[in-house]
Structure 1
């Protein structure tokens, strides 16, 4: 913006110089011819005065052009320097973003390997696919957003519900997502996505008396008292005393990613199972 403003300033300055030169030249020609007509006594004297007048005009305008062009060149140099500084700053920013992308990819690959190891002894291919899809969704939302470091919570919750419904919808499960209008940093978004995915997988497996029963799951993300709350609730049979005290693989994974996001896993019964965690808003 600063460089663009300087370019506009140069263009306006050039227009003023050209206008001033045109006006000065016209006034000089008209007035000098009349004055010479008054003071010249004959044709030869008029011709001499015309020659002197022309030489004086060339010398004066050359001097003016020298000073004006010198000023313009100084301004152009400043614009070029500012452009180079902006280009260098943009290049450094892109290098930082590229390093950050490589770092995120490395971390996400490590998470995928860990998830595959956890699911290796189970028939959990669909669950693993849903977790990987939730991680991919984070990056999809990132490159389609204005920034590269935050996601809108309402969009994230809604899209997560859509992705997970593709995995579990055929099992008689409905999944909805709702979020308030605030932003989640990308380092929080990946563990949140895995947490929600695992919570939905647990609900599909354990919340119903039989696999044919319908099940409704609701995902919510809200900002309250400078804390972000991520919650998944279902309308199934609830946790029960044994489930609330047990630490199965799914619960362990949810606790781990909740801790990674800066929170602690919480569970309760409330018309079904409710799992959630909170972390301080940045």
Structure 2
């Protein structure tokens, strides 16, 4: 019995390793293609796709490195994801900092993947739109993740220019926001948006064990 379990663990580790490698190959191909594109809109779309692929590859890398083959500690995952996003959008050169407040807890891979992609989209949205170059302030993106009453609660906020007063996420035409809606439905979760001239806050909640 123990031998069978050991073999299963080895097989799962190998699967995660191969999935990670395949996603990294896709990431590299997108990066290579990106260097040959001149159109600004196309460049933006390729960068966004590249970051989404990386967010998933990172999950499988963490699973491969973890003692658990089915769960990820988000406290270890999120900082690595943010390093990539802040580099991708040149945040340091633009004077944008990050503040992370994460309560350590684990989620199954079925919930980590949509959660990671939601985080990817919301942080990307802040880095792209909240801090136009003409804005004379020190930008900050804040991530708060905690666990209460079997709910995971993720908040992504910034001190940028805020959203239009009539903004409704369900009417948003951007692929990123449409993806957020689909993923929240997948998690059977909720999202609340608060925005004003002092910034924007997206608050996502979903059941941990469902």
* CA–CA distance in structure 2, aligned partners of residues 158 and 235 of structure 1: 20
Higher helix share: 1
1:91 match:
7
Listed as ranges, the gaps of 5+ residues in structure 2 are 28-40
Residue 234 of structure 1 deviates from its aligned partner by 0.6
Residue 280 of structure 1 deviates from its aligned partner by 0.9
* CA–CA distance in structure 2, aligned partners of residues 143 and 92 of structure 1: 13
1:222 aligns with 2:146: yes
1:195 match:
118
Q: Counterparts in 2 of 1:69-218, with a 5 A limit?
A: 85-92=1-8, 94-95=10-11, 97=12, 101=16, 122-124=42-44, 125-168=46-89, 169=91, 170-210=93-133, 213=136, 214-218=138-142
Residue 217 of structure 1 deviates from its aligned partner by 0.7
- Structure 2 contact 157–199 (Cα < 8 Å) conserved: yes
* CA–CA distance in structure 2, aligned partners of residues 89 and 208 of structure 1: 51
State which of 232, 240, 264 in structure 1 corresponds to 2:190.
264
- Structure 1 contact 234–273 (Cα < 8 Å) conserved: yes
- The TM-score, its normalising length taken from structure 1, stands at 0.57
* Aligned Cα root-mean-square deviation (Å): 3.2
- Structure 1 contact 207–238 (Cα < 8 Å) conserved: yes
The answer to which structure, 1 or 2, has the higher relative contact order (CA under 8 A, 6+ apart) is 2
State which of 235, 244, 248 in structure 1 corresponds to 2:173.
248
* CA–CA distance in structure 1, aligned partners of residues 19 and 203 of structure 2: 25
Aligned positions, number: 189
* CA–CA distance in structure 1, aligned partners of residues 9 and 50 of structure 2: 34
1:279 match:
206
- Structure 1 contact 258–264 (Cα < 8 Å) conserved: yes
- The TM-score, its normalising length taken from structure 2, stands at 0.74
Q: Cα deviations across residues 154-191 of structure 1 (Å, max 9, x unaligned)?
A: 22222222222221223432233321021121122222
- Structure 1 contact 134–193 (Cα < 8 Å) conserved: yes
1:232 match:
156
3-state SS of the aligned residue for 2:143?
A: strand
Larger displacement relative to structure 2 (128-137 or 231-240): 128-137
